[in-house]
Structure 1
Amino acid sequence: MGRGPSTPETGSDAAASDSAASLRAYGGEGGDTRVARRRASLIDAALDLLGADDAEAVTVRGVCRRAGLTARYFYESFESVDQLVGVVYDEVIEEITHSGLAAFSEGATMRSKVSGAVAAIVDLIDRDRRKGRLLFSQALLSPVIAAKRMESTALFAGLTLQSTSSILDVHVGPAQATGVAHYQVGGLSRLLAAWLEGDVELSQSDVVDLSVALLVSPAEILEKSLSHGSADGE
């Protein structure tokens, strides 16, 4: 039985065919794999620019030059430089959060949990200082990074509030406790930034010990202050 006449492709069918053709295997590597590889190269190139000692402005041309790709491949994965910068920051935050929480869960006591989490974070930014500069360097003033840092500060303040309250059994009002958590995260961030920039000459283990102390001492001071205030009022 003979084949019937073929029907013309609709616009969507043609687009799907073009897309499938463009993603066909080439040199043994599938199209999706090539897209993912190029996207990863662009992210790494942007991290190079953002995390350098003399951080450069991130532009499509600069990222593509460093990644060894053309602008065509930039827009294959990202709509704008701002979107790329946001993705880079989100990926680093996801990595650091995953490492910190994994180490936190392995601790036998609440204090050891916090110590393990801080050690994991410090180790990660020490092994790849680009990531530390992206998260903490005051030289990066991009509006996108500023907004992302506000989001991540709120996230880490929430985590810090939970862990520190558990360690010290601090019973204060929610507004005071939140203020302590933001104070702790701000102090920790500035310490790590100064360490990465070479302004604080400490070993990695000393940075961890000092960071844990910073996370604990403000809440201890507040607790003592409140208890003295209650005693004075009696």
Structure 2
Amino acid sequence: MGRAPSTPDSRSTAASDSAGTLRAYGGEGGDTRVARRRSALIDAGLDLLGADDVGAVTVRGVCRRAGLTARYFYESFESVDQLVGVMYDEVIEEIAQASLAAFSEGASMRAKVAGAVSAIVDVIDADRRKGRLLFSQALLSPVIAAKRMESTTLFAGLTLQSTSAILDVHVGPAAAVGVAHYQVGGLSRLLAAWLEGDIDLGKADVVDLSIALLVSPAEMLEKSLSRRTGDAD
């Protein structure tokens, strides 16, 4: 999208917003305009990072995509790195709310994990740009790498909440955390491969496979415990 031509009214509006007065203009309050431009910049950033031929994301490129000037970029963000960090945090927050709500509604371990996984896949399937931001191996910026390390805690937590009681019995609490991170790594790679089209699976198949990846180790250990208890009897 090209940048909208500047008019005397638009220049005066920009000056008003930049000066911090945030006066109403055309029936729209200043805070609303700032929020709308911020949202447009985030959407533009997702577009650029979600493209197959993604290159360096720059202030100029984001502004061109959003149809805004650099002045409006710096109105909301100090740098492209900050924009990318905010984008990532907002997607993680969306997924966290959806997955944790679904997790809490499950009546069993499998139902909890199934609900959480389905919620995650629903979000990234509805907007593939978000899935690419979270999982694509083609995006290797230091900001994204750091954010992915942070978000691993969320996904590992979902596994630990449902399987820690079983895993703790067999491998101990510390090793249980390691198992959870191992499972999350596998889940991330599976979702990345699916989003990139490297595996030919439907959405339902990806959900089922993801659930199995997360719950099967705990279920196998539980069966092993049951067999040992039976043999002891």
Please classify the TM superposition score into its range, dividing by the shorter chain length.
Answer: 0.7 to 0.9
* Structure possessing the higher radius of gyration over alpha carbons: 1
Task: Decide whether the 8 Å contact of 2:46 with 2:87 is kept in 1.
Answer: yes
SS at match of 2:171: coil
Correspondences of 1:109-188 after superposition (within 5 Å):
109-165=108-164, 170-188=169-187
Where structure 2 has 5 or more consecutive residues not aligned to the other structure, the ranges are 1-15, 229-233
2-structure distance, mates of 1:63, 1:94? 22
Which position in structure 2 is the counterpart of 1:73?
A: 72
Amino acid at match of 2:191: L
Residues 1-234 of structure 1: pairs in structure 2 closer than 5 A: 22-165=21-164, 170-221=169-220
- The answer as to whether partners of 1:101 and 1:117 remain within 8 angstroms in 2 is yes
Distance in 2 of aligned mates of 1:145 and 1:19:
30
- Distance of aligned partners of 1:162 and 1:171 in 2 relative to their CA distance in 1, 3 Å threshold: farther
Partners of 2:143 and 2:115 lie apart in 1 by: 30
The 10-residue stretch of structure 1 (18-27 or 99-108) with the greater mean CA deviation from structure 2: 18-27
For 1:195, give the aligned amino acid.
Answer: W
For 1:56 and 1:44, the matched residues in 2 are separated by 17
Q: Do the aligned partners of 1:170 and 1:219 also contact (CA within 8 Å) in 2? A: no
Shift of 1:135: 0.3
CA deviation after TM superposition for structure 1 residue 22, in Å: 3.4
Deviation at 1:71, TM superposition (A): 0.2
Separation in 2 of the partners of 1:160 and 1:168?
A: 10
Aligned to 1:6: none
CA displacement at 1:107 relative to structure 2: 1.8
TM norm structure 1: 0.83
Q: Which moved more, 1:214-223 or 1:41-50?
A: 214-223
Kindly provide the amino acid, as one letter, of the partner of residue 104 in structure 1. F
State the match for 2:5 in structure 1.
none
* 1:109 Cα deviation after fit: 2.0
* RMSD after superposition: 2.6
CA distance in 1, matches of 2:102, 2:20: 45
Q: Any idea what the Cα deviations from partners look like across 1:169-199, whole Å, max 9, x if unmatched?
A: 8543122101110011000000000001111
Moved more, 78-87 or 211-220: 211-220
**TM-score, scaled to structure 2:** 0.84
Distance across 2 between alignment mates of 1:80 and 1:217: 43
Distance 2:17 2:61 in 1: 30
Task: State the alpha-carbon separation in 2 of the partners of residues 100 and 21 from structure 1.
Answer: 38
Residue identity (%): 85
Runs (5+) with no aligned partner, structure 1: 1-16, 230-234
CA distances 1:196-224 after superposition (whole Å, capped 9, x unpaired):
11111111111111000000123345667
